[in-house]
Every structure is written in structure tokens, then in C-alpha cells.
Structure 1
Amino acid sequence: MKFYRRSSPASRVPPMTTDAITRDASIMTSYVDPGAREAMRMVSGLKSDRFVVSRRRTGFGDCLWSLAAAWRFAQRTDRTLAIDWRGSCYLDQPFTNAFPVFFEPVHDIAGVPIICDDEINHRSFPGPFFPGWWNRPSIDCVYRPDQQIFRERDELDRLFQNEEDSDANTVVCDACLMWRCDQEAEREIFRNIKPRSEILARIEAIYRKQFEPYSIIGVHVRHGNGEDILGHAPYWADPERALRQVCRAIERARGLPYAKPARVFLCTDSALVLEKVSALFPDVFTIPKRFQALQAGPLHSAALGAEGGFSALIEMYLLARCDTVIRFPPTSAFTRYARLFVPRVIEFDLNDPGRLILTDETSQELVGL
């Protein structure tokens, strides 16, 4: 089943400090500086090669979903896919490509060649570029306002949906591309991209001890903790009501039939949500992790270091191994992996946040709860 949504909001870029602008300028130089391109082309032998660059600095859900859209386009147009996650929100090292910090190296995905390591710092991609903004001199590319990012998102959306190719040698995907590909493309990414072995070992240890003996109801509550949560905001218009909705969903999930004793596994970016839900459901369990201070922002923050990213991946991959998963709100990309692979999903209607919907893959039904 193909699932497209063309109107989902793009991630907003926070205001850039002078240091951040300088770092971003250095990273962008390899894309747009003609001199650098020519020099590196001679060294690397890129010549007439054609590329798609998936450039994201956001949470893993957005990164992986946008990567799936970029991969699908690269596959369709016979291009090499470069994964450029420098400047990641999970790291305070601006020139480190976050992908190999958190994921195992991958050289090919279903026939698409992949560049995904710190070699990205020494690569220069051949022009012309699409979207056209990337053909400007590098000094003009330092600051990209939100509206420019939204325009690029829409340009890429039209390119992908029209199922045509671009004359550009390099297509730069530096915008939120959630909802811009089919579900099979997303599944292909999750089948081929694996967290680093030490992260997988932690996931497996937790799974064997706390998941395997039980039927697990996974609950993800994306709160924001003071962040501008954009498209998630309608679900939190009334915070007390939102928490009641989450608790109602847990009660409904516990009422479903399971093969083993059911336990509730909670993942959230808010210590306050954890406190409130645990007070009502004392048997809820979580994976220990650091939270930001109250109203200090989300967990995908360099302030928490790489361990914050490790914790996020552990939760993301464990949620995908639950028997039932509750998504609040359903607009969060963090639970997209779970949405694709968990047999039963309870989520809140996009058009009516007060309405619960159960998707049961075993019966192929959508049921209002």
C-alpha cells in the first residue's frame, strides 16, 4: 500500500549563531564552491557521476524517513546516494557525519551505491545542482531561511511525485521529506540500515530480559518539553486532556487479547509525562535515560551527547518489536519504524485528535476505539 501525504510541515531550523554559520559555510563549500569541486573531482575521479545527497540534522525519525525518499529517487534515476548528517542535533562535532557514529557502514542498498562515512568531508559533488539555490556561490548559501527550506521541500516533492529525473548532476535533499515516498521504500531502508553493533547489543539485552517473556504495549508520547512542536501542537492544545487521551489509549490497549502477560513500555521526551503516566500506571516500565530540564527542549540535543542518540535508537528499535504500539501524536516520525512493522497500532486521528484508531495488520482492519 502506498501512503503519501503532500502537506506535512517541514522541520523548522533554529536561528543560527555566528559559530554555527561559520561551520555550515565550511560544510556547504564542498557542495557549491566550483574551485573545490574541480580539485576534488580530479582526486576522487567523480567525473560524470550523478548523486543524491540526503542532508539532515534532525531527529532520527525525520532523518530515516527523508533518507527513504532520497533513496527511492536515487534508485529510480540510477544515482549514488550520499548520506550527509554532519551538524547532527545529536552531536556537538559539526564536521562529524553522524551516520557512522550511530549506524553500521552500508555500501549498497538494493543496487544503489552509498557514501555514508566521514569521507563526505573530502568529497565534492559535481554541478549543476537541484534545487537551483545550491548553484549559488558558497558565501550566499550560508544562511537558508525557513521559507527557502520550505521551497526546496516543495521543489523536491514535485520532482519525486512527477517520477521524472533532473538534469542536475547532484540533487541535494536538505529538507524534511516525510510522506514523500512509498512505504516499501521506508521498509527497504529499515531492512538495510542497522544500528552499530554495540547499540544492537544493548537492544538485544533489554529485549531478552524485559520484552521476551511478555506481550509488550509500547507507548510513545512526543511532548516537546518546551520545543516549538509545529504539526504536533494540536494534540497538546489542552495538556491535561492530552494526558487523559494517552491513558485512555493505554487502557484500551490493555483490553486487547495477548498471548502472554501484557506489560506497558513508555517512551517519552518529557520527565513530566513520565511522572504523570507512572502515577496512574505504576507497572509501566521505561529504559533509563537522561532528560532535559523542564521546558528546556527535546531529547535530540547535542547537550546530551552521543548517549542521547544511543538512547533514542534503543527506544525506537524496541518500539518496533512491541505487540501493540500507541503513537501520540501520530505525526511524530520517531514511531514511523514501529508504524511499519508492529502488528497492532493505536493512534489518534489526524483530523480528530480525540478519536482513537486501531490498525490491526492481522485482520487488515481499521477500527475506531
Structure 2
Amino acid sequence: MNRYLVIKAKGGMGNRMLCALTGILYAEATNRVPVVDWTDGAYAEFGVNAFPQFFNNEKCEAMLPLDNEKTVVPRIWKGHLEKSVSAMISTFDPNKHKSFFVHRKYSIDPSQYDYDDDIAVYWSYTERIHRLKKCLVNLNSEWASINKNVILKSTLIRHFPLKTPILNEKEEFKSKYWSNKVIGIHVRFTDRRIAIKKIETPLRQMLAKFPEASIFLATDNFEVDRYLKTQYPNIISTKKWYPDEFGALHQNTECPDRVRNGVEALIDMYLLAECDALIFPADSTFSLISSILSDADIENKFDITRRDVAVRAKRIIRKYLP
């Protein structure tokens, strides 16, 4: 009888990809069937699983297992497997959506590999390789010596290949607009007031190094797109939907096509990864994935949050959380 790992999701594309990545690795290590459940309505109509619409992954099942006569861990998910993490937290812990500790209640611990239950549920805001390694090393000591980013990159390549139409669209954009050298910049909606100042110095450095380079801008903020294009004539960016009022693109009630919204995010993410230089906020899981996938030289990667004390403190807290 198959044992399952249901991998839930919450947040944007980067959050759910890094969560799914950790879950898939855990499922492989513990001989469970991974079920990546993106039915929460963020990137498809509610109840429709968005994951198989974006990625070619034959090892992941798209349908949730029935839990009628099966044991489920954490127990709170028994009878609620069809619900999203957001719905569960809203029901049982409505004031803890931003809690650092809420995952303990709604997810298994990826450092433990001896759960006997038929169905295990995993969820996190980001990757948890530091916890997962404890499980992996118990099963195979060779995991201890493998760098975390090597694990992340190899797993992204193996388990998150883009669907052919998305890949073709990405390549079509490159064939039309890509130059010999490209500098990639990621600016988030939430960073719009500070990110432009922070990118100016590394951008000048890279333009001095690659004077003929074009600049690929990935942003969810139309105001940023418009402003930077007035400052730098060699900026290129993909066409995408922006909300009338400034706000995040994902889980926006005004979005006319949530699947398309996900496609646009993935094209930007994977294009950033193919740039020769990358200027990004590493506290963004979106551009973190781009930087992990990137083959750009390390001296051409600039994390604009590397000196941010609050960001560094947050990373340390997440790293050592059980």
C-alpha cells in the first residue's frame, strides 16, 4: 500500500516552489508518493491543481489521496486534506498567518523519517534543507558533505522543468530581445521605495564591466517598470498583467487569469537565471531561485539585502527553527 506526502502551499511562486522542492526530496528519501497540492486558488481557479499546469513532473501525483480509513499526520489535517493551509490557519489560528512557528502545527518535521502514518502533510514558507539533511544523512551519510545550494539546484533542474509552451515562450522572448550580455534585476512591489537606490551602485558596476549589455527587469510593479525605462533606454521586460491599484500580483482578486499570472512569473524567474549578472534581494524566494539556478560568476551576483540586519536576523531565525 502506498504511503503519501501531501505537499501544501502558501504565498507566491518562489515560496511554494521551495516548499515543494523540500517535500519532494523528503518523499524520495522516505519512499512516499509526493502529491503537490496547489489547489488553493493562487495560480488557478480554486480547487484546480496549478502545479501540473506549470511543470513536467511525472513522479508527483496531482490528486489528493482519500483519508477515510487512513491515518494522517499532523492529526489536524484528518478530514481536511482538501483545504488549503491558509484556510486551515484562518479556521484554527486566524491571528497566526505571519507566525514563525505556525508550521509546527500544520506540517511534519522534515528531520524525522520514521512517521508510520499513511498520509503525511508537509508545508513551509521556504526551503528547509537544513532540517531535511538530518533525515537524509540518517538514510545515506553521503548527504552530509553536499552543499545546500547544490542540492537545491539539482532538485530544481530534476523536478521543476517548465511545460513546453512556457519554455517556448521564454525562448521566443530571448530570441527577440536578448543581447550578448544581459544584466538581470529583480524589484518587488514591497521594495519599490528602497530597491531602486540599492540597485544603482551594482548596476553601474556591471554596466562598466559590460557596457553593451541590456538590462532585463523582472518586477511586479508597473511604477518601477515605467520609471526604470525612463532612466535606462536598454531595459527589456516581459509583458504581464498589473493590477490597477499597486499591489502584489499573486493572489490578487483583480487578476483576470491566474494560470497566466503563474506563467508570467515563471518566465521572469527563469529568464533572470539566464542573465550574465544578477542584482536581486535574496530574501525574496522568487529571485533566490533565480540565483540558485544561475550559472553567472559569483562576482556578478549582488544580493541587495546582504547588509540588511532585519533580513539577516529573519534568515537566522528560520534556519534554526525546528
Residue 34 of structure 2: which of 72, 77, 81 is its match?
A: 81
Deviation per residue, 1:302-324 (Å, 9 max, x gap): 61412212211111111111111
Helix, strand or coil: the match of 1:346?
A: strand
Query: Residue type matched to 2:276 in 1?
Result: D
- Mapped partners of 2:308, 2:52: distance in 1: 40
Q: 1 or 2, which has the higher strand percentage? A: 1
Q: Is there any run of 5+ residues in structure 1 with no aligned partner, and where?
A: 1-47, 109-113, 225-234, 356-369
Highest CA radius of gyration, 1 or 2?
1
My pick for the range that moved more, 145-154 or 196-205, is 145-154
From the superposition, tell whether residues 276 and 73 of structure 1 become closer, same or farther in structure 2 (CA, over 3 Å): same
When residues 103 and 270 of structure 1 are mapped into structure 2, their CA distance, relative to the original with a 3 A threshold, is same
Give the aligned residue type for 1:308. Answer: N
Report the AA paired with residue 59 of structure 1: G
> Which residue pairs with 2:315 in the alignment?
none
Distance 1:354 1:244 in 2: 18
TM-fit CA distance, 1:282? 2.2
Partner of 1:203: 170
Do structure 1's residue 124 and structure 2's residue 90 form an aligned pair?
no
**Residues 90, 304 of structure 1: 8 Å contact kept:** no
CA distance 1:90–1:346, change in 2 (3 Å): same
1:310 aligns with 2:263: yes
Match of 2:119 among 162, 170, 182: 170
Q: Which amino acid aligns with 1:183?
A: N
Q: Percent identity?
A: 20
TM-score, normalised by the number of residues in structure 2: 0.76
- 1:268 matched to 2:219? The reply is yes
Aligned residues: 279
Counterpart contact for 1:72–1:185, Cα < 8 Å:
no
SS of residue in 1 equivalent to 2:214: strand
List aligned pairs for 1:30-45, cutoff 5 A: none
Other structure's SS at 1:321 match: coil
Q: Which residue of 2 aligns with 1:133?
A: 76
On the 8 A contact 2:38/2:49 being kept in 1, the answer is yes
Where in structure 2 are the equivalents of 1:137-176 lying within 5 Å?
143-145=91-93, 147=96, 151-154=101-104, 159-161=109-111, 163-176=112-125
- For residues 122 and 157 of structure 2, the distance between their equivalents in structure 1, rounded to whole angstroms, comes to 22
Residue in structure 1 matched with residue 140 of structure 2 by the alignment: none
Q: 1:339 to 1:296 in 2, by over 3 A?
A: closer
Contact 2:71–2:119 under 8 Å retained in 1: yes
Q: Partner of 1:335 in structure 2? A: 287
Structure 2: segments with no counterpart, 5+ residues: 131-147, 312-322
For 1:158 and 1:130, the matched residues in 2 are separated by 7
On the 8 A contact 2:108/2:120 being kept in 1, the answer is no
Per the alignment, residue 221 of structure 1 pairs with 187
CA contact 1:157–1:180 (8 Å) conserved in 2: no
